[in-house]
Amino acid sequence: MRIGLYPGTFDPITLGHTDIIQRAMALVDRLVIGVAINRDKGPLFTLEERVEMVKAECDAITAVTGGEIIVHPFENLLIDCARDVGAGVIIRGLRAVADFEYEFQMVGMNRAMDDSIETVFLMADARRQAIASKLVKEIARLGGDITRFVTPPVKNALIARFAQPEARPKAQKK
Protein backbone atom coordinates (compact mmCIF):
# COMPACT_ATOMS: atom_id res chain seq x y z
CA MET A 1 0.00 0.00 0.00
CA ARG A 2 1.35 3.41 -0.98
CA ILE A 3 0.88 5.84 1.92
CA GLY A 4 1.48 9.55 1.52
CA LEU A 5 1.66 12.30 4.13
CA TYR A 6 0.53 15.82 3.30
CA PRO A 7 1.52 18.02 6.27
CA GLY A 8 0.56 21.60 7.10
CA THR A 9 -1.02 23.80 9.71
CA PHE A 10 -4.20 24.22 7.64
CA ASP A 11 -5.14 27.43 9.47
CA PRO A 12 -7.53 27.36 7.68
CA ILE A 13 -7.69 24.78 4.92
CA THR A 14 -8.04 26.53 1.55
CA LEU A 15 -8.98 25.58 -2.00
CA GLY A 16 -5.25 25.46 -2.68
CA HIS A 17 -4.89 22.72 -0.06
CA THR A 18 -7.87 20.76 -1.36
CA ASP A 19 -6.47 20.95 -4.90
CA ILE A 20 -3.23 19.34 -3.69
CA ILE A 21 -5.19 16.73 -1.67
CA GLN A 22 -7.29 15.73 -4.68
CA ARG A 23 -4.25 15.43 -6.92
CA ALA A 24 -2.22 13.56 -4.30
CA MET A 25 -5.01 10.98 -4.05
CA ALA A 26 -4.10 9.84 -7.57
CA LEU A 27 -0.56 9.04 -6.38
CA VAL A 28 -1.21 7.08 -3.19
CA ASP A 29 -3.61 4.47 -1.81
CA ARG A 30 -3.94 6.25 1.53
CA LEU A 31 -3.33 9.93 2.16
CA VAL A 32 -2.65 11.09 5.70
CA ILE A 33 -3.27 14.78 6.25
CA GLY A 34 -0.86 15.78 9.01
CA VAL A 35 -2.30 18.76 10.87
CA ALA A 36 0.70 20.35 12.56
CA ILE A 37 0.59 21.69 16.08
CA ASN A 38 2.83 24.70 15.52
CA ARG A 39 2.74 26.96 18.55
CA ASP A 40 5.24 29.35 16.93
CA LYS A 41 2.75 30.31 14.20
CA GLY A 42 0.01 31.27 16.70
CA PRO A 43 -2.88 29.73 14.75
CA LEU A 44 -6.25 31.47 14.54
CA PHE A 45 -8.10 28.17 15.00
CA THR A 46 -7.42 25.58 17.69
CA LEU A 47 -5.98 22.23 16.71
CA GLU A 48 -9.39 20.63 17.24
CA GLU A 49 -11.09 23.20 15.01
CA ARG A 50 -8.49 22.76 12.26
CA VAL A 51 -8.75 18.97 12.43
CA GLU A 52 -12.55 19.16 12.16
CA MET A 53 -12.37 21.56 9.19
CA VAL A 54 -9.86 19.32 7.41
CA LYS A 55 -11.97 16.22 8.12
CA ALA A 56 -15.08 17.89 6.72
CA GLU A 57 -13.27 19.00 3.56
CA CYS A 58 -11.69 15.55 3.09
CA ASP A 59 -15.04 13.80 3.63
CA ALA A 60 -16.41 15.89 0.76
CA ILE A 61 -13.44 14.90 -1.42
CA THR A 62 -13.66 11.16 -0.69
CA ALA A 63 -17.42 11.22 -1.26
CA VAL A 64 -16.67 12.21 -4.87
CA THR A 65 -13.33 10.52 -5.58
CA GLY A 66 -13.27 7.58 -3.20
CA GLY A 67 -9.96 6.66 -1.66
CA GLU A 68 -8.81 6.81 1.91
CA ILE A 69 -7.88 9.98 3.75
CA ILE A 70 -6.91 10.03 7.41
CA VAL A 71 -6.51 13.27 9.36
CA HIS A 72 -3.68 13.02 11.88
CA PRO A 73 -2.58 15.82 14.24
CA PHE A 74 1.15 15.87 15.01
CA GLU A 75 3.71 17.89 16.94
CA ASN A 76 6.89 15.92 16.36
CA LEU A 77 9.37 16.14 13.50
CA LEU A 78 7.80 15.73 10.08
CA ILE A 79 10.05 12.76 9.29
CA ASP A 80 9.01 11.09 12.56
CA CYS A 81 5.35 11.69 11.73
CA ALA A 82 5.91 10.10 8.31
CA ARG A 83 7.43 7.05 10.02
CA ASP A 84 4.58 6.95 12.59
CA VAL A 85 1.92 6.76 9.86
CA GLY A 86 3.92 4.45 7.59
CA ALA A 87 4.28 7.01 4.81
CA GLY A 88 6.81 6.34 2.08
CA VAL A 89 6.25 9.72 0.53
CA ILE A 90 5.73 13.26 1.79
CA ILE A 91 3.54 15.43 -0.44
CA ARG A 92 4.28 19.13 -0.59
CA GLY A 93 2.55 21.84 -2.58
CA LEU A 94 4.51 24.60 -4.26
CA ARG A 95 3.11 27.98 -5.24
CA ALA A 96 6.20 29.97 -6.12
CA VAL A 97 10.00 29.97 -6.21
CA ALA A 98 10.11 31.20 -2.61
CA ASP A 99 8.30 28.01 -1.53
CA PHE A 100 10.87 25.91 -3.36
CA GLU A 101 13.84 27.42 -1.54
CA TYR A 102 12.37 26.57 1.87
CA GLU A 103 11.16 23.13 0.75
CA PHE A 104 14.54 22.32 -0.82
CA GLN A 105 16.21 22.77 2.59
CA MET A 106 13.52 20.69 4.30
CA VAL A 107 13.95 17.82 1.84
CA GLY A 108 17.70 17.80 2.44
CA MET A 109 17.27 17.62 6.20
CA ASN A 110 14.54 14.98 5.99
CA ARG A 111 16.63 12.81 3.64
CA ALA A 112 19.60 13.13 6.00
CA MET A 113 17.37 11.74 8.78
CA ASP A 114 15.68 9.04 6.67
CA ASP A 115 16.54 8.59 3.02
CA SER A 116 13.86 5.92 2.54
CA ILE A 117 11.10 8.56 2.58
CA GLU A 118 10.74 10.52 -0.65
CA THR A 119 9.27 13.99 -1.04
CA VAL A 120 7.03 14.76 -4.01
CA PHE A 121 6.24 18.33 -5.01
CA LEU A 122 2.96 19.20 -6.66
CA MET A 123 2.73 22.59 -8.29
CA ALA A 124 -0.35 24.54 -7.31
CA ASP A 125 -2.97 24.80 -10.00
CA ALA A 126 -2.59 28.14 -11.79
CA ARG A 127 -5.98 29.29 -10.45
CA ARG A 128 -4.84 28.55 -6.89
CA GLN A 129 -1.22 29.77 -6.86
CA ALA A 130 -1.90 33.00 -4.97
CA ILE A 131 -3.90 31.35 -2.20
CA ALA A 132 -2.15 31.33 1.17
CA SER A 133 -3.89 30.77 4.50
CA LYS A 134 -2.16 33.83 5.94
CA LEU A 135 -3.55 36.05 3.18
CA VAL A 136 -7.02 34.51 3.36
CA LYS A 137 -7.12 35.25 7.11
CA GLU A 138 -6.03 38.85 6.50
CA ILE A 139 -8.66 39.40 3.81
CA ALA A 140 -11.35 37.89 6.06
CA ARG A 141 -10.20 39.92 9.07
CA LEU A 142 -10.55 43.12 7.06
CA GLY A 143 -13.99 42.19 5.74
CA GLY A 144 -12.99 41.18 2.21
CA ASP A 145 -14.60 38.50 0.08
CA ILE A 146 -12.85 35.13 0.45
CA THR A 147 -15.37 33.12 -1.57
CA ARG A 148 -12.82 32.27 -4.28
CA PHE A 149 -10.28 30.94 -1.78
CA VAL A 150 -12.17 28.65 0.63
CA THR A 151 -15.30 26.53 0.76
CA PRO A 152 -18.50 27.96 2.28
CA PRO A 153 -18.07 26.15 5.64
CA VAL A 154 -14.52 27.50 6.03
CA LYS A 155 -15.65 30.97 4.98
CA ASN A 156 -18.39 30.85 7.63
CA ALA A 157 -15.89 29.72 10.28
CA LEU A 158 -13.60 32.65 9.42
CA ILE A 159 -16.45 35.15 9.46
CA ALA A 160 -17.63 33.81 12.81
CA ARG A 161 -14.11 33.93 14.26
CA PHE A 162 -13.55 37.52 13.19
CA ALA A 163 -16.97 38.54 14.49
CA GLN A 164 -15.66 37.81 17.99
CA PRO A 165 -14.42 41.02 19.66
CA GLU A 166 -10.95 39.62 20.48
CA ALA A 167 -10.35 38.75 16.80
CA ARG A 168 -11.34 42.12 15.31
CA PRO A 169 -8.70 44.48 13.96
CA LYS A 170 -7.32 46.84 16.56
CA ALA A 171 -7.60 50.57 15.92
CA GLN A 172 -4.31 52.17 14.94
CA LYS A 173 -3.00 55.00 17.12
CA LYS A 174 -2.33 58.21 15.23
Tens-digit pLDDT profile for residues 112-147: 999 999 999 999 888 888 889 999 999 999 999 999
Q: What is the per-residue pLDDT for 133? A: 92
Q: 3-state class of 122 per DSSP?
A: strand
Q: What pLDDT does 127 receive?
A: 85
Sequence ranges of the domains in the chain:
3-127
- What number is the average pLDDT over the span 169-173? 45
Whether residue 102 is predicted with pLDDT greater than 90 in this model: the reply is no
pTM of the model: 0.90
Closest CA to 87 of 139, 33, 123: 33
Would you say residue 159 has pLDDT above 60? yes
| DSSP code for 61 | H
Q: Which positions are annotated as active-site residues? A: 17, 41, 95, 133
Average pLDDT over residues 28-53: 92
Is the preceding peptide bond at 169 cis, omega within 30 degrees of 0? no
3-127 placed in CATH 3.40.50.620: yes
pLDDT at 81 over 70: yes
In the chain, pLDDT over 70 holds for what percent of residues?
Answer: 94
